[in-house]
A and B are shown apart, each in its own frame.
Chain A
Amino acid sequence: MRYLWWLIRCQPWRVLRGSLLGTTWMIGLSARPYLIARAVDDGLRARDTRALAFWVAAIIVAGLALSYVGTMRHRTMTFIREDAKARTAEVLLRHLSRIGAALPRRIGAGEVATVGGSDINWTAEVLTLTGPGVGAIIAYAVIAVVLWSISPLLALCVLVGVPVVGLVVGPLLRRLERAESVYRQQQGALTARSGDIVAGLRVLAGVGGRDLFARRYAARSQDLRAEGYRVGAVNSWIDAASVAIPGLFLAAVVWLTARMAVTGDVTIGELVAVYGYVATLIVPVWFLLEGSYQLIRGRVAAQRIADLINVSPDDVGGPGRRWPGPVPDARRPGALDAPAGPADLHDPVTGLTVRAGQLTGVAADDPAAGVALADRLGRYVVSGTTWGGVPLTGVALDEVRSRIVVADHDSYLFAGTLRDILRPTGGDAGGDEHDRIRAALRVASAEDVVDALPAGLDTPIDARARALSGGQRQRVRLARALRTEPEVLILIDPTSAVDAHTEARIAERLHAARAGRTTVVITTSPLLLGRADLVAHLSAGRITSTGTHEGMLDYEPGYRRLVARGSEDPDIERPADTEEAYR
C-alpha cells in the first residue's frame, strides 16, 4: 500500500488532472440524455423550432466537448499508468542489477518474471482509480441529485437498484473469467506442445516418430475442443444473464416512471431522461466494481514488488555467518586494506597457494570441490582465504570484485550484440576497444564464431546465446572473461565443450596472454594443465600434490588417472552384461 502511495505522490499534478477530467467526463456522459430530453420536451412536443435548434446545437457542442474531455482523460490516465510502470521497472532494474550473487539464493527467476511480466501492470492499473474512480463517485452523486429533483421515489429505486444489479452481475462475470482462465491454461499447455514439437523437429527428423506426435497432438486438441464446448455452454448463460438482469431492471424503472407519467408526476421528457440516466449510471457503477477488484489484485502485486525491493545485497559475500568473530562490513570504508599490488592467494581449506603472476592449474577429482574452491578464492562465500596475508573476507567487496574475477563455466550470457557482450564495462567503441575485443577473441580461439555470424560483432545474440553451439558459447564466455583483464582470473572448466584441436590452441594462447598475471584454471584437460606454470591435484578436499604437469604425470598415479584419459585406464571395465540386459 505504501508503494502505491509512493507511485501517486511521484506525480501529484497529473493525478489531480486525471481526477478532474475523470469526473467531468463521467458527469458529461449524463448530459446527452438530459439534452435529448429537453429537445423532445421543449422543442418537439412544444413544436418550437428555435428551441429545438438550440438544444440540438447544445447536443453537438456537448458531444464535441465530451469527446475532448474523454480523450484528455484517456491520455492523462495512460500517462499516469505508464509513469507508474516505468518507475517500477526502473526501481526493479536498479535493484536487481545491484543484488548480485545473493539473488538466486533468495528468490527464483520465475518470481521475477511474474513481477516483471504482470505485477508491474496490475500495480499500475490501480492508479486508474485516481481518475475515473473519483469521477465515478462524484458522477453517481450528481445523477442522484438530478433524479431526486425529478422524483425522490424514483431516485431511491435507481440509486439502490443499479449498485445491486452491479453486485449481482459482477460475481457472475468473475466466474466467467475463472472458467475462461482454466480453458486458457489448457490452451497454453497445448500451445506449449506445438512449440515443443517445433523445437524437437530436428530430433524427430533424426529418429522418426512424427505420426505419433501428430496423433497425440490431435487427441489433446480434441480434448481442448470438448472443454471449450463445456465452457461455452456455461459462459453463454452467464453472458446472457449479465445482459438480461440490467435490462429487466431498466424495464422496471421504465414501468415505474411511465405510471408516474400517466398520473402526471413526471413529464414525458423526464420519462425519456430517466431511461437515459439509468443507462449512463451503469458506467460509474462498473468503474467502481472493476476498481475494487483492481485494488485487491494490485495490492497483492505491489506487495510482491515491495518484497523484491526488500531483498538486500549480501555484504559478507556469502550465506550464513559461520565466520568466527565479527565480519567486517565490507561495503563501508574502514574495511581491511587489500594488498596494493599482485599478491598470493591462499586457501587454508584445501591448502592451495596461488602464486602471484603465475598460471596455476588445479585438477579436481570432484568437479564440485573445484567450484567450491573458486567460490572461496573469489569470495562468494565466507572463508579463511587470505590475499597477500590479509583475510579476503575483510576486504571491501567492490575491490575484490574489481580485481579478482571468477569465470563460471555456466556464467550468464545476456542478450545484445556480440560487441555488447564482450564490452561489459561499457568502454567506448574506439579503435583501442575493438583491438582488445579482437585480442580476447583470438586467445579464446573464437574468431570463427564471429566470422560465422551474419553481421560479425554487431550480430544480435539472444539471452543465453541459444543460437550458438555449446562450444561456441563457451569460447564467447572465455573471451568475455579475458576481456575484463583482471589482476586475478579464475577460470572454471573453460574448454570442456571445445574440440581437442581448438583446446590445444586456447591453452597455448591463454598462457601467452596472461603472462605475468595471476590465473587459476580449474580443469582436468591435459592440454590446459600442460601449459600451467604449476599444477595442483585436489583430491578428497585437499591439495595432495603440486608440481609441473609432466612431473606429476610421472610420479603421481592418482593425477595421471584423472588427467590422462588415455587408452589404458583400467578403472573402466567393459560392461559385458549390458547387452544381455537389453536383449
Chain B
Amino acid sequence: MTRLPVADRRTVRRALRDMISRHRRAVGIVLALHSAAAVVGLAPPWLLGTIVDEVTAGAGVATVDRLALAIAGCVLLSAVLSRYAQYAGHRFGERAVAELREEFVSRTLGLPVSVVERAGSGDLATRSSVDVATVGTTVRDVVPTIVIAVVQLTLLFGAVFLLHPLLGLAALAGLPSIVAVTRWYLRRATPAYLTEGAASAELTETLTTTAEGARTVEALWLTDDRIRHGTAHITRVWSARRATLALRTVFFSVVEASYPLPVALVLLVGGYLFSRDIVSLGAVVAAALYLQQAIEPMDRLLQWTEQAQRGLASYARVLGVGMVPPEPPGRTATSQGERLVVRGARFSYSGGPDVLHGIDLEVQPGERLAVVGPSGAGKSTLARLLAGIDAPRQGVVSIGGCPVTDLDPAERRRRIALVTQEHHVFIGSVRDNLSFAAPDASDEQMRSALVSVGADWFAGLPDDLDTQLGDGARQLGAAEAQQLALARLVLADPHTLILDEATAALDPTTARRTERALAAVLAGRTVIAIAHRLNTAHDADRVAVLADGRITEIGSHDELVAAGGAYAALWRSWHTHADER
C-alpha cells in the first residue's frame, strides 16, 4: 500500500497564506473589530481603578455615578463590537471551510482510481470525514477563539505596560513556565488524544458489533470470547485516558501555579513605585485586576492550542490529496472501430509477482465473451486492464487500434463501462442514482431501464423515482443494489461492457433472468462477462478459461465441452444429467 501524500510544513504555510490573502479584507475587518471590542473591554477595571482613586481622594456620589455609568456603557459597546467581530469572523470561517471542502471533493473526484486503491480507500475516507471536519471546526471555532484570546491578552498586557513599563515587565513573570510546559504538553498531547479517541471508538464498535452479531455469538458460543475481547478494549480505553490525564496533570498544575506569580510581582513592584509616588494606587489596583482578568483568555488559549495543532495536522492531510497528480487527460480522443485486442499483456500489482502472464485475446464488436476460472486466476485484473483502469506492465490493450489508457478518461468511460460486484448505492433518490450515468435520460427511460434488469421492487417504491435511498431512508439489499447498477449501465449504453461478477448477489434464477433480459437490451454491444456461474458461460458466444494468469482454453461452449478439458469436466459436474452420463 502506498499511502496518499501529506503536505509538508512549507506547503501548509503557503496554503494558509494564500487563504488569508484571498480573504484579506475579511481578515482585516475581523481583527480590527476584535481589537476594538477588547480595548473597550479593558475600560471597566481601569474605571474601577479610577473610582478607587476618586473615592480615596474624597470624591462625591455624583462622580461615582458617572464612572459606574461609563462602566455599563463600555460593557454594552464592547458586546456590540464583539458581536460584529464574531459575525464577520464566522462568515469568513464559513466561506473558507466551504471553499476547502469543495476543493477537496473535486480533487477527490479527479483522483485516478488506481491511486486510491493502492492507498486503501480507508485512508481517503478518513480524510474526507475526520480531517475535513477537523479543519472545519478549527477554522470555524478554534481560530476565532484563539484570535480573540490573543487580541485580549495582547491588549491586557499592553495596558499594564501603559500603566507603567516596570509593572508590565512584572506582569510577564508567569510566562516562561507557561510557555515551557505548553511546548512540553503539545509535543505529547495530539498523539495521546488521538489514541484515546480511537480506543473509545473501538469500544463503541465492539459493543455495537456484539449486538449486531448476537445470533452468531450464541450460535458459535462466542460469549466468553466477546467478553474477553471487550474487556481488553475497556482496559485500553482506561489506560489511554490515564495517559491523557497524566499529561493534563502536569500541564494544569504548572499553568495554574504560574497564574499568581505576575499578580504577586505586580503588587510588589507596584508597592515600591507607589511608595515613591511614581504610580497611583489606582494604577496598581487596575494592573492587578487586568492580570486577574487575563487568566480567563489565557486558559482559553491554552485549552485550544492542542485543537489548533490537530487542525493543522488534518489540514496537511487534506492538502495532501491535492498533491496527487490528477488522472492524465488522454492523448487521443478517438479511435477506429470497437475491436478489443489484448497482446502479450502482463500485469503485477505495485511491483509484486505477475498476476497475468502474457494474455492474448481478441474480442469482435458485438461478441459476447465469458471469462471463467478459479478465484485468484486473474479474472478481475483482466477486467481492469480491459476497462483501462490499469495499464499492463508489458504488452498492450487496445480498442480500435488505440491503447485504452490513451483515451480521454471521460471518453473511455463513455465507451467502455465496467460493472463489478461492488454495488454502491449513493445517498439520494433513485433518479440521482441513475441520472449520473446518462444525464439526458428521461424518467420514462429510467423506468424501463429498471424494468429491463428485472428490478420488480421498483414498482413498490412509495415515491417512484424520487424515493430516497441509503442510510435512514429505503435501504436496498445487495440484489436490489446490483440491479440498480445494471440499470445504470443500460442507461449509459456503452459500446463495450465488462461485467465482473455483476450478478453475483442475485439468486441463481433471478441472475439468469436478469442476464438474459440485459442481453436482449444490449443486443449488438460487446459484452465481456466474468462469471462464477457456468450457465453465463453457456449463453456466451465464446468462453475463455483463465487459470493462473493464463488463458488455458478458449472457444464456444460446445467446442470446449467437446474438447474434454478442464471446462468440460467442470461443466459435467455442475450440470450432471442422466442423459449426459
Contact = CB atoms under 8 A, between A and B. Distances in A.
A101 B375 contact: no
A560 B233 CA distance: 52
Interface stretch (B16-24, B157-165, B357-365, B507-515): B507-515
A64 to B, nearest CB: 5
A62 B261 CA distance: 11
Nearest to B101: A221
Give the 6 A-B CB pairs with smallest separation, nearest first.
A412-B213, A63-B260, A209-B436, A100-B218, A255-B68, A499-B532
Most buried by B among A201, A211, A481: A201
A74 B375 CA distance: 58
Given A191-B129, A240-B82, A217 B533 contact: no
Contact of A207 (B417, B452, B504, B513): B417
Interface stretch (B221-229, B339-347, B397-405): B221-229
A578 B573 contact: no
B129 A239 contact: no
Interface in B44-99: 44, 48, 51-52, 55-56, 59-61, 64-65, 67-69, 71-72, 75-76, 78-80, 82-84, 86-87, 90-91, 93-95, 97-98
A411 B79 CA distance: 60
Contacts of B117: 202
B234 A578 contact: no
Given A198-B121, A582-B445, A582-B448, A70 B252 contact: yes
A222 interface: yes
B292 to A, nearest CB: 7
B485 interface: yes
A224 to B, nearest CB: 7
B203 A101 contact: no
A401 B217 CA distance: 11
A498 B501 CA distance: 11
Contacts of B543: none
B316 interface: no
A133 B8 CA distance: 46
B348 interface: no
B520 to A, nearest CB: 5
Interface string A204-222: 1111111111101110011
Contacts of A306: none
Interface string B409-448: 0100110011111111011000010011101000001001
Contacts of A566: 535, 538, 575, 577
Interface in A462-504: 463-464, 469-472, 480-481, 484, 496-504
B220 A527 contact: no
Nearest to A579: B520
Contacts of A98: 223
Interface stretch (B187-195, B241-249, B303-311, B328-336): B241-249
11 contacts: A43-B267, A59-B264, A67-B257, A89-B207, A104-B215, A116-B204, A236-B87, A254-B71, A367-B507, A414-B226, A470-B505
A472 B501 CA distance: 14
Contacts of B15: none
A247 to B, nearest CB: 4
B129 A500 contact: no
B222 to A, nearest CB: 5
Given A470-B504, A578-B452, 18 more contacts: A53-B268, A90-B231, A93-B206, A96-B207, A96-B226, A97-B226, A194-B101, A198-B124, A236-B87, A259-B61, A262-B64, A401-B219, A550-B576, A554-B578, A565-B533, A574-B516, A582-B445, A582-B449
A404 to B, nearest CB: 9
A107 B210 CA distance: 13
B44 A247 contact: yes
A135 B285 CA distance: 29
B222 A194 contact: no
B5 interface: no
A202 B128 contact: no
A103 B234 contact: no
A40 B241 contact: no
B563 interface: no
Interface in A223-249: 224-225, 228-229, 232-233, 235-237, 239-241, 243-244, 247-248
A575 B132 CA distance: 49
Contact of B226 (A71, A93, A200): A93
B236 to A, nearest CB: 11
Nearest to B245: A78
A199 interface: yes
Nearest to A247: B75
A207 B389 CA distance: 12
A261 B97 CA distance: 53
B300 to A, nearest CB: 13
A275 interface: yes
Given A104-B215, A578-B521, A500 B534 contact: yes
Contacts of B252: 67, 70-71, 74
The range of chain A's interface size is 35 or more
Interface in B343-374: 372-374
A582 B490 contact: yes
B568 interface: no
Contact of B234 (A93, A115, A503, A567): A93
A243 B256 contact: no
Interface centre among A97, A420, A566 (most CB of B within 10 A): A97
Interface in B249-298: 249, 252-253, 255-257, 259-261, 263-264, 267-268, 270-271, 274-275, 281, 284-285, 288-289, 292
A86 interface: yes
A500 B372 contact: yes
Given A86-B238, A255-B71, A412-B213, A93 B121 contact: no
Contacts of A281: none
Binding site of B, secondary structure by majority: helix, strand, loop or mixed?
helix
A201 B427 contact: no
Contacts of A204: 109, 436
A92 B507 CA distance: 38
A501 B436 contact: no
A358 B82 CA distance: 82
A103 B219 CA distance: 13
Contact of B213 (A380, A414, A550): A414
B254 to A, nearest CB: 8
A484 B55 contact: no
Contacts of B52: 268, 271-272
B211 A96 contact: yes
Given A196-B427, A200-B426, A116 B208 contact: yes
Contacts of B150: none
A399 B521 CA distance: 55
A553 B576 contact: yes
B446 to A, nearest CB: 10
A156 interface: no
B221 A401 contact: yes
Interface in A357-414: 367, 378, 380, 401-402, 405-408, 411-414
Contacts of B248: 74
Contacts of A89: 203, 207, 230, 234, 237
B410 A502 contact: no
B275 to A, nearest CB: 6
Contact of A412 (B116, B216, B374, B421): B216
A287 B495 CA distance: 69
A340 interface: no
A380 B219 CA distance: 9
Nearest to B83: A240
A62 B128 contact: no
B113 interface: yes
Contacts of B414: 208
Most chain B beta carbons < 10 A, residue from A45, A276, A484, A578: A578
Contacts of B268: 52-53, 56
A76 B267 CA distance: 34
A494 to B, nearest CB: 14
B197 interface: no
B264 A82 contact: no
